[in-house]
Amino acid sequence: MDQAQQFRTDFNATAPDDAELVRRALARDGAACRMLMKKYNQRLYRLARGIVRNDAEAEDVVQEAYVRAFTHLADFRGESSLATWLSRITINEALGRLRTRRPMVDLETAEAQGTVAEIIRLPFASADDPEKTMAQRQLLQLVEQATDQLPEVYRVVFIARVIEGLSVEETAAALDLKAETVKTRLHRARRLVREQLDRQIGPVLMDAFPFAGRRCERVTVAVLRRLGLPE
């Protein structure tokens, strides 16, 4: 288990559960809001970036999604998990921004127009490359490039299921789709990301589209300031 995975395991084992954090956040507890953001920043950023395909805009999407979520936290009834609720808000915010740029392309249109992207095989660093850190960075860039080339209707499902690890049911709930639609789109997305590429990048997918360090802290602080809560 790498350090990032160990941190997630330790964090989940010691942190209050979502219900407790929501209760405290409703009482305007800034620490609880911070803990919720730290817990879900990575997931929401990946989902946002999978839609808008721009790092800075994805960061803005996450910030707006959090402000909207915390402002309307009393509306969260627990009918779905908090993670699904936050994911849906983030996806809607990202799609809303995308629609201001161009009309949403649906599945049938994408297929009829032949806009399904061909994933181009790019060279991997050799196994005996002494610059292991650089090789991994190049591999992660390859993951991002391959994902960015997917058509929009497939890309969001691929991000949610393969990179973020959401279940079919969670993905369907977040995207307001039928489970069968999620399965169909995922199957077609996987076909585009060639088998060899899929095998090579599988072990490091959890580190793709990072949202840690300064960027994570920047969004967290900005949201707390906008909500008038202590940092």
Question: What domains lie within the chain, and their CATH numbers?
Answer: 3-226 (1.10.1740.10)
pLDDT of residue 139: 66
Which whole-number Å values give the CA distances from 92 to 31, 67, 69, 147, in the listed order?
26, 14, 12, 20
**C-alpha span between 101 and 115 (Å, rounded):** 18
Does the pLDDT at position 26 exceed 90? yes
Residue with the bigger pLDDT between 74 and 118: it is 74
User: What pLDDT band is residue 51 in, cutting at 50, 70 and 90?
Assistant: confident
**C-alpha span between 156 and 47 (Å, rounded):** 7
Does the pLDDT at position 165 exceed 50? yes
User: What pLDDT band is residue 133 in, cutting at 50, 70 and 90?
Assistant: low
pLDDT of residue 125: 40
Decide if 155 contacts 142 (C-beta within 8 A). Answer: no
Which whole-number Å values give the CA distances from 70 to 9, 24, 82, 97, 225, in the listed order?
25, 11, 12, 20, 12
pLDDT of residue 32: 94
**Got the DSSP string for 13-25?**
HHSPPHHHHHHHH
> Comparing C-alpha atoms, which of 17, 8, 63, 49 is closest to residue 155?
49
Does the pLDDT at position 30 exceed 80? yes
Residue with the bigger pLDDT between 5 and 180: it is 180
Tens of pLDDT, residues 36-48: 999 999 999 988 9
Does the pLDDT at position 93 exceed 60? yes
- For the record, the structure tokens of 77 come out as 């009834």
Q: Which residues of 37-74 are buried (b: 16+ CB within 10 A; e: fewer)?
A: bebbbbbbbbbbbbbbbeeebbbbbbbbbbbebbeebe
> Comparing C-alpha atoms, which of 71, 141, 160, 171 is closest to residue 63?
71
